[in-house]
Amino acid sequence: MSNRPTEDALLPQAAMPANSTVKMPVGVPGYTLHEETRQAPASEPPVWPINKDLQYVGHSAHRYDGPDKASGRARYTSDVQLPGMLYAKFVNAALPHAKVISVDTSAAEKYPGVRGVYVVEHVLGPAELRNPALDRGRYPVVRFAGQPIAAIAATTPAAAQEAATLVRIQYEKLPFVVDLDKARESNAPPVFPGPADEEGSAGGGGGPSDVHQTGNVHGPSVHRVRDTEQGFKEADVIVEGHYITQVQTHSALETHGVVADWKPGMLTVWASTQGTASVREELAGYFDLPMSQVRVITEFMGGGFGAKFGAGNPGVVAAALSKKTGAPVRLMLDRQEEHLSVGNRPSSDQTLRIGAKKDGTLTAIHLVSYGTAGCGTGAGCAGPATNLYQYASLHTEENDVFINAGPASAMRAPGHPQGAFALEQTIDDLAVKLNVEPIDLRDKIDNHPVRRVERQIVRESALWKSRSPVPGADQGPVKRGVGLAQSVWYRFVRTNCAAEVRVHRDGSLEVLSAVQDIGSGIKTVLAQILAEQFGVPPSQIAVKVGDTNYPVGPDSGGSVTTLSLTPAVRDAAWQAAQKFLADIAPALGVSPSDLVLVDGEVRSGSGKFQPISFRRAAAKMTASQITAQARRVPDYDPSKYLTYGGVDVAEVEVDTELGRVHVRRVLSVHDCGRPMNPEQTISQINGGIIQGISFTLFEDRLLDPKYGLMVNPDLDLYKIAGAREIPQIDVRLVEAYIGQSSTDASGIGEAAGVVSIGAAIGNAVYNATGVRVRRTPMTPAVVLAALRQGGTQA
Amino acid sequence: MPGSAFPPPSPDSPPETPRSGITRRGFLKGAGITAASTALLEGVQTLRADAESEATPGVTEFGPGADSVRLHVNGAEHVLDIEPRTTLADALRLHLGLTGSKIVCDRGVCSGCTVWLDKIPVNSCMTLAIDAIGHHITTIEGLSSESEPHPVQAAFVRHDAMQCGYCTPGMVMSCAALLERNPHPTEHDIRHAVSGNLCRCGTYPKVFAATLDAAGSRRA
Amino acid sequence: MNRFALADCTTIDAALSQLKDGAVVKAGGVDLLDRMKDGIEEPQRLVNIRNVAELRGIRETLQGLTVGPLTTLAEISEHPGIRAHYQILSDACGHAATPHIRNMATVGGNLLQRVQCWYYRSANFQCLRKGKDFCFAFEGLNQYHAIMEYTGCPSVAPSSAAVALLGLGASVELTSAKRGKRTVGIRELYVVPDANPTKFTVIEPDELLTAIVIPRPAPGTRSAYQKYGEKESFDWAIADAGVVLEMDGPICRRAVITMGAASPVVRRSPQAEAALAGKPVTEETARAAGRVSVEGAQPLSMNAYKLDLFPVAVYRTVLLAAGLRGRDPSAAG
């Protein structure tokens, strides 16, 4: 399967304890709920019922760190100030492709306030040559404008910035290419002198390393299921489309950056990261330090969306400068650097053909895609075509095309918004050709049990019922349309994560994990799990996360955090509760099995004593602290429920005179296993929808073709949806139990609308105008051109 | 005048015209010295301590090096040494450690750095710190106390109007400023009021809901 | 941002006395700080006029309005008298930039802001308007650039206030310590970027913009401004229109139609004005005016779509001014 984040399947798995047979709720309450049998390790806690029968989990608890965030007290990496701290600034390449002949830092070193200068030895991020010997030279070859070359640490940000302008770099210019079509030409300037590959991060992205490379074309990576030639022969109808999507940058509000404090025996790093573990591993590896001497702290972080894994260039350089100067060093990228150098969503140029029988059965799907991940790889986008529908045959060819631009990195559902934009509009084209309703066609070709329920919810919605079956039916220049599209994402389980739960004799409870809260609200969910297990409100739980001093957490990429970590937390909480009850039972004169924890009290099941408060019961502990640690056990039945997703419906108004598309309403029906905190889950889905609208209508990384420089590296002409672009979003969260773990949670970050909303908008625009817009962003220029072309065709 | 953003200071601005605020250099040198506002403002006439530099009537020279200036932040006086080029955002974040306001775009288009000058929301990244002399500066830290959050802050928590939280201080300051001048906004009013506030996690729907709710709770 | 000295002035005379040796005037500072942060301008000395009280405020006179250049965009847009009688100006100032920028930015600064061309705004491109001899936009990315009346530099007029003030027939008062005052029309304030592309306005280094004078509209005047972007939340105009109609019952006695994002300097469209003069304002006449508003346009490689947008901006704003149509929900700002 393409674009799947690397599994940790290669890690040695813990020995599986003896299994026991359990019955678990599976399916969607009100639709398909039933019981299934699973083999679960005997050490697992009792099976939880569905949410309505739980007290805290599955209900909306206020965000754990909400008051800190709303008050400005939350301290992000960019806010960390340490005594004697220096401020670092990168010196970046101003050319898109060049050999660096010399780097003269002497003037910068003498500048007042400068304490240290570092020349970058190896650039992290771009694809690496299979044969590194091809890149001989003292300095890394510049492959994109904005590539870091050196860095300055000084006593003030201004001094660092001024000194940075004094670094003299001598280049030998190399021919460059920044246009995907030009880069594919046989005489295009090569971005790399030989085959090169980019590995994925913990968040996915990256491309295959087992493919050919011809010139700048890295691929194709071919995937075949049976014979598409035969499939098209058997087809009654064939639909085809050519779709183009642009490069999008993550544009997290907090830029990449760290504060590094290198002291003898301990390197402490505050990092704006999605993976404290990934930062520690990269720093320990790069500087050859034992893991025990690297500590990474991420209490708050201002958004990542897939781009923030590992130490990266800022982490390595800040640590090196801290080591060199003996002082803590803060290195936060500026907005321009954030656009240029730390990742993006690759573009796509897709030609998709689908063959079907008259009854809708898909006989063949054939996709050829090109896309650019800059000087990286990861532009594959065949995931939706491969994994959303039933088909008789499939042929996909994914090609990465190198250009002289910053390397891509994983971005929220890598490859999937692009792939779904083409696939889901082509499926709608098929429905038109077959003269069936698009929702009925999907019932025919999509056998995912939960999406079937989701389509049912859509079918019954007022929004879907308001859809005109006739495209372009509205009179007047402003036309309304409704369209739907589906999303798919995968259940990736990280068993390499753990948590510790502590019960203190004063009755306080805490949970510890190195996991970072990237805004999804995992802190709140951990508090809810302890609350459920101990029968006390979540507000009484202390959550300690974002510090590698705690048990290892999952890196937050690919929607793995909640589904991977929460079972470990529940297991630890359950074990701690069992230990706690065993410890206090003698003092209460009962056996542990007679004790229950509920409503803030410890009660005797047999009524042997009057209920006492949890705090009073804790005072009877024989030790000051009871702890339990648990690691994630593998899914109970890894052969089942490998994907999940949702159905999104968009209502648009197309001002056909201005070419403006305004999204008025969105109905977003999604599943994520057991929703742990519906309010926070809805927040993430809102976010996926809005990021997807922004991608579909506005955002575009623009590179000047003649000079290879980005002309809009800001938040002004790089246009991101704002308050007035936001539709009324109606999220229907579908509880979909799958019987896989002690919490039965799944993820939501990737599937949350961002995959499907672009195609839903495209289908709605078609419904409004009768014209298909096959290119993003759908700006007035693009929409007017499509309308004009559509008009002449009609 | 409605919407007056900068001088003349509004009636509840610190006394003295038009912009008091400089201390004698060396008398109170260094950043972060605070004192009760009224005591220090009295009798301070000029922008700078070395007033003899006012060779031309009506002209006060600053810089290019650091000068000692006094800013009135969250109800307290702060004396800090800053260059003319120091933005208010940097003065607050780096000199005073008030890191609630965030620098995101650094060009006045995302409003993550929103603070109030005399209750008018402005972008502190595009305001020179010396232009804030003589004005009441309110940052997210000064909007409320921990024990009693501002109604907008409480509503943001109730409605989960935040994800990563990086835009949240700016959003809160914009929404709270809206309620100062329009206690009963519609959702349309709120959308316009935060149309310059960028949120990348896509939390807008709950920002609207929270602000409507805060307005309601203020009514009650 | 480079290090600089700053002369904080409290009177016009004090400020005029400081206009020498390359000193740069700073009012609200929004556009100036933007350029300085981008490293395209490095003044050694700023003359801060932000605290010159005489330069602030709105005075209604028998002849019309006198607006102090330090009056903020928010103050203008919310002024009841301007809302009532100069709707076009209220619209233009109320839809510029973001709400917080409108609280900081002055109308004088809005008029004098530099072009927004991304080549001009990047320190990486040494272009015509920075004193070099090459424009990057003609062969580069020009989707937001001019479709008409460009010669050397096709970057569009960035000031929405100028579109409104041109429509109202306003002029600015320029004051020099040596030469006293002179009055210049809005159109004449700007230098067409051909002979001397580094000069953006006719203001001399020793001059200060000291007032904006707006004549009282003739009885029966109705006006409006609308700006269209790719987004509705803060965005630059890809098309815009200012409309001033002198109505005589249902008949339009005289029309002034102005445009900003079409050309390097704000322009009136005589063709569109002629299409309305002496006629009743209807959807038909409004559309006719819109159609001819782009007569003579020669789009660049990427901006032909603007030929579709301006006619729509003009006709919808004519109807808005005439009270025949509401404010366009698609309009930005």
Q: What is the CATH number of the domain that holds C262?
A: 3.30.390.50
**In a shared domain, residues C232 and C249:** yes
With a cut of 60, say whether residue B47 has pLDDT above it. Answer: no
How far C260 CA sits from the closest chain A CA (Å)?
Answer: 17
Selected residue of C308, C325, C327 to mutate for chain A interface (largest A Cβ count, 10 A):
C308
Which residue is listed with tokens 């740069």? C24
Number of domains in chain A: 3
**In a shared domain, residues B155 and B67:** no
Evaluate whether residue A381 is within a structural domain: no
Count of beta carbons in the 10 Å neighbourhood of residue A35:
13
CA distance linking residue C155 with residue A520, whole number of Å: 43
Evaluate whether residue A611 is within a structural domain: yes
- Could you check whether the bond before residue A189 is cis, i.e. omega within 30 degrees of 0? no
Q: Which of C141, C234, C236 sits opposite A704 (nearest CB)?
A: C141
Q: Which of B103, B154, B203 sits opposite A683 (nearest CB)?
A: B203
**In a shared domain, residues A153 and A163:** yes
**Domain assignment of residue B42, given as a range:** 33-99+128-139
Nearest to A192 by CA among A207, A209, A171, A174: A174
Evaluate whether residue A383 is within a structural domain: no
Evaluate whether residue B215 is within a structural domain: yes
Question: Given its phi and psi angles, is residue A753 left (phi above 0), alpha (psi -120 to 50 degrees) or beta?
Answer: left
Evaluate whether residue A387 is within a structural domain: no
Evaluate whether residue B105 is within a structural domain: no
**CA of A346: how far to CAs of A139, A209, A701, B77, in Å?**
27, 17, 10, 50
3-class DSSP state for residue C186? helix
Nearest to A46 by CA among A24, A79, A28: A24
How far B217 CA sits from the closest chain A CA (Å)?
Answer: 17
Nearest to B208 by CA among B183, B182, B171: B171
**In a shared domain, residues A670 and A613:** no
B60 touches chain C (CB under 8 A): yes
**In a shared domain, residues C210 and C231:** no
CB contact under 8 A, C140 and A657: no
Evaluate whether residue A366 is within a structural domain: no
**In a shared domain, residues A287 and A141:** yes
Strand A601-604, strand A595-598: pairing? antiparallel
The predicted pLDDT at position C110 comes to 98
**In a shared domain, residues C242 and C272:** yes
CB contact under 8 A, B149 and A726: no
Q: Which of B59, B107, B111 sits opposite C100 (nearest CB)?
A: B111
With contacts defined as CB-CB under 8 Å, which chain C residues touch B208?
Answer: none
State the chains in contact with A (3 or more Cβ–Cβ pairs under 8 Å): B, C
Give me the average pLDDT of each 10-residue run along chain C (333 residues): 96 97 96 97 97 96 95 97 96 96 98 97 95 94 97 95 98 97 98 89 97 97 97 96 96 98 98 98 98 98 98 98 93 74
Evaluate whether residue B77 is within a structural domain: yes
CB contact under 8 A, B1 and C57: yes
With a cut of 60, say whether residue A225 has pLDDT above it. Answer: yes
3-class DSSP state for residue A512? strand
CATH code, domain carrying A167: 3.30.365.10
CB contact under 8 A, B164 and A62: no
CA distance linking residue B101 with residue B98, whole number of Å: 7
Evaluate whether residue B202 is within a structural domain: yes
**In a shared domain, residues C167 and C182:** yes
Residue finishing a domain among B80, B108, B139: B139
Q: Residue A22's beta-bridge partner residues?
A: A38
**In a shared domain, residues C64 and C184:** yes
**In a shared domain, residues A579 and A683:** no
CB contact under 8 A, A726 and B199: no
The one-letter amino acid code at B161 reads: A
**In a shared domain, residues B85 and B132:** yes
B47 touches chain C (CB under 8 A): yes
3-class DSSP state for residue C177? coil
Strand A541-545, strand A509-513: pairing? parallel
Q: Which of A77-81, A350-354, A676-680, B25-29 has the lowest mean pLDDT?
A: B25-29
With a cut of 60, say whether residue B9 has pLDDT above it. Answer: no
Number of domains in chain C: 2
Evaluate whether residue C162 is within a structural domain: yes
Q: Where are the beta strands (DSSP E) in A93-145?
A: 98-104, 114-119, 128-129
The predicted pLDDT at position B27 comes to 31
A648 with A668: CB under 8 angstroms?
Answer: yes
pLDDT in tens, A116-158: 999 999 999 999 999 999 998 899 999 999 999 999 999 999 9
Q: Measured at the alpha carbon of residue A547, what is the angle toward residues A543 and A551, in degrees to the nearest 5? A: 80
Evaluate whether residue A43 is within a structural domain: no
Q: Which of A659, A716, A723 sits opposite C305 (nearest CB)?
A: A659
A146 with A711: CB under 8 angstroms?
Answer: no
CB contact under 8 A, A71 and B206: no
C100's enclosing H/E stretch is helix C99-104
With a cut of 70, say whether residue A671 has pLDDT above it. Answer: yes
Evaluate whether residue C210 is within a structural domain: yes
Which residue is listed with tokens 């201005």? A658
CA distance linking residue A10 with residue A12, whole number of Å: 6
CATH code, domain carrying B164: 1.10.150.120
Whether pTM exceeds 0.80: yes
**In a shared domain, residues C181 and C270:** no
**In a shared domain, residues C168 and C202:** yes
Q: Which of B97, B158, B191 sits opposite A81 (nearest CB)?
A: B97
**In a shared domain, residues B90 and B157:** no
**In a shared domain, residues A599 and A498:** yes
B63 touches chain A (CB under 8 A): no
Nearest to A668 by CA among A684, A646, A651: A646
Evaluate whether residue B37 is within a structural domain: yes
Residue A261: φ, ψ to 5°: -130, 95
**In a shared domain, residues A487 and A499:** no
How far C189 CA sits from the closest chain A CA (Å)?
Answer: 27
**In a shared domain, residues A554 and A672:** no
**In a shared domain, residues C72 and C180:** yes
Evaluate whether residue B47 is within a structural domain: yes
pLDDT in tens, B139-156: 999 999 778 999 999 999
Handedness of CA B149, B151, B153, B156 (dihedral sign): positive
**In a shared domain, residues C183 and C235:** no
Average confidence (pLDDT) over A281-301? 98
Eight-state DSSP code of residue A522 = H
CB contact under 8 A, B99 and A75: yes
Nearest to A244 by CA among A778, A744, A648, A787: A778
Evaluate whether residue A400 is within a structural domain: no
**In a shared domain, residues A482 and A497:** no
Selected residue of B102, B143, B160, B195 to mutate for chain A interface (largest A Cβ count, 10 A):
B160
Strand A728-734, strand B76-82: pairing? unpaired
Evaluate whether residue C189 is within a structural domain: yes
pLDDT band at A759 (very low <50, low <70, confident <90, very high): very high
CATH code, domain carrying C188: 3.30.465.10
Nearest to A421 by CA among A367, A378, A363: A367
**In a shared domain, residues C227 and C248:** yes
Evaluate whether residue B106 is within a structural domain: no
**In a shared domain, residues B135 and B42:** yes
**In a shared domain, residues A682 and A758:** yes
- Could you check whether the bond before residue B8 is cis, i.e. omega within 30 degrees of 0? yes
Which residue is listed with tokens 């051109």? A785
**In a shared domain, residues A258 and A149:** yes
**In a shared domain, residues A278 and A423:** no
ipTM: 0.97
Residue finishing a domain among A604, A631, A658: A631
Instruction: For A174-207, give the secondary structure using H, E and C.
Output: CCCCCCHHHHHCCCCCCCCCCCEECCCECCECCC
Evaluate whether residue A296 is within a structural domain: yes
**In a shared domain, residues A434 and A582:** no
pLDDT in tens, B164-204: 999 999 999 999 999 999 999 999 999 999 999 999 999 99
Q: Which of C234, C302, C312 sits opposite A658 (nearest CB)?
A: C312
The predicted pLDDT at position A790 comes to 84
With a cut of 50, say whether residue B32 has pLDDT above it. Answer: no
CA distance linking residue C29 with residue C36, whole number of Å: 10
**In a shared domain, residues B37 and B135:** yes
**CA of C327: how far to CAs of B182, C237, C311, C322, C323, in Å?**
22, 16, 16, 11, 9
Which residue is listed with tokens 């065709």? A793
With contacts defined as CB-CB under 8 Å, which chain B residues touch C4?
Answer: 63-64, 84-85
Selected residue of B166, B173, B203 to mutate for chain A interface (largest A Cβ count, 10 A):
B166
**Domain assignment of residue A446, given as a range:** 416-492+639-793
pLDDT in tens, C157-213: 999 999 999 999 999 999 999 999 999 999 999 999 887 899 999 999 999 999 999
CB contact under 8 A, A81 and B197: no
pLDDT, averaged across chain A: 95
CA distance linking residue A612 with residue C231, whole number of Å: 60
The predicted pLDDT at position A17 comes to 62
CB contact under 8 A, A69 and B101: no
**In a shared domain, residues C107 and C162:** yes
**Domain assignment of residue C179, given as a range:** 55-113+155-215
With a cut of 60, say whether residue B53 has pLDDT above it. Answer: no
Residue finishing a domain among B82, B108, B139: B139
Write out the two tokens for A491.
């259940």
Number of domains in chain B: 2
Q: In this complex, how many residue pairs, one in chain B and one in chain C, have their CB atoms less than 8 Å apart?
A: 143
Selected residue of C2, C34, C116, C124 to mutate for chain A interface (largest A Cβ count, 10 A):
C124
With a cut of 90, say whether residue B219 has pLDDT above it. Answer: no
Residue finishing a domain among B86, B114, B139: B139
**In a shared domain, residues B49 and B134:** yes
**In a shared domain, residues C233 and C287:** yes
Evaluate whether residue C229 is within a structural domain: yes
